Amino acid sequence: MPIEEEHVLSFLENASNEKYNSELIDLLIKRINKLCFEECQIDRIQCTLTPLCTRRFLLKLRIKNNLQLEDLPKFCYSVHKNVVLRDFRGKTVVYKPNDAYLYLIDFLDIFFHGDYRKLNKFITFDNWDEAYEIFERRINKDKENFQYYHYGNYFIVKYDDRIHATYIEQKYVICNCNRENITDLNLLYGLCQLFKKIHFPEFRVSIIPEKHVILTAYVTQDVLNNIEESANNDADSNLREYFWSIFPEDIESLTKFTKKVHMELNRNRNLEIKLYLNLETNNYIETEKNIPLRFRDMRLIFNFMYRLYHEFYILWVK
């Protein structure tokens, strides 16, 4: 029987084999470098259409570990950048560049081309006021369809329906965030603040450092009073259908991706719905470990907040 993945992993995890690990890892590194710099790039058509690593994940390996452009297979990276650019412009691409890692300056070059050198300088040297001026001008004057939020080490951009997360100190960006894990509570907080700013500004987002991000939605007393009435007549069929049929299912679904859902009447007799989030879901894998929270998991949560706000909050308080 040939050597399989589990054999290698088991070998590396065994402390008694530690003195051989560096040799084994060295063999792996040599194989990766040969694959990237020789076998794949030697045929540019193949590298463009069918790279030898799935979705160019070996670029991610290098970028996440702070390797510089000169340490990357340059043609492969140029193709990768061009795929993100073509997808951004709505052109045909070989594959959808979800969770695509780019250096910060290349991300700025694609999405904010005319100002990318200035923005790179301002962000690198923490001159955020100057950066904000450029972003606001592009939104208000140039009518570009994006919003942004900066919190700590993270600068998050929602361009159309796509999310792009910048890791400022590391100088890279995850473009079209989808299946990537959310690995920092501050990143999760920034993402929630961005969606609050755009979609449900009067709801609340708070953070308990190293524990939770809390999303708080409200159902007004007027709505609560009408829920019971609508159960017996057709005064508001939309209200009745949602709160008597769909709302319980939504709450049950949310428990899979939140650590806790808490509901109570506040002093104004409004119903507060608090969603407690951290970096793990309540879903499990075979090893009985919690599945990490991913960017795509937040869609269900934000859709819930959006519906409560636009259908059952803002219309009742305005």
So what's the pLDDT on residue 156?
A: 99
**Are 123 and 115 in contact, with CB atoms under 8 Å apart?**
no
Tokens of 281: 């879901």
The answer to whether residue 188 scores a pLDDT higher than 70 is: yes
Tokens of 267: 């002093």
**Are 81 and 110 in contact, with CB atoms under 8 Å apart?**
yes
- What amino acid is encoded at 298 in this protein? M
- What amino acid is encoded at 306 in this protein? Y
Tell me if residue 181 falls in helix, strand or coil: strand
The answer to whether residue 1 scores a pLDDT higher than 80 is: no
So what's the pLDDT on residue 224?
A: 79
Q: How far apart are CA 136 and CA 21, in angstroms?
A: 52
So what's the pLDDT on residue 244?
A: 72
Q: Chain centroid to CA 35: how far?
A: 30
The answer to whether residue 128 scores a pLDDT higher than 70 is: yes
Q: How far apart are CA 77 and CA 73, in angstroms?
A: 6
pTM of the model: 0.91
| Core vs surface per residue 168-204: b (16+ CB within 10 A) or e | beebbbbbbbbebebeebebbbbbbbbbbeebbeebe
Percent of the chain residues past pLDDT 70, beyond the cut: 93
- Going by pLDDT thresholds of 50, 70 and 90, the confidence category of residue 318 is very low
Q: How far apart are CA 318 and CA 316, in angstroms?
A: 6
So what's the pLDDT on residue 229?
A: 61
Q: Identify the burial level of 125 via C-beta atoms within 10 angstroms of its C-beta, where 0-12 means exposed, 13-18 middle and 19 or more buried.
A: exposed
Tokens of 306: 């959006």
Tokens of 215: 């999303």
Residue with tokens 């070996």: 58
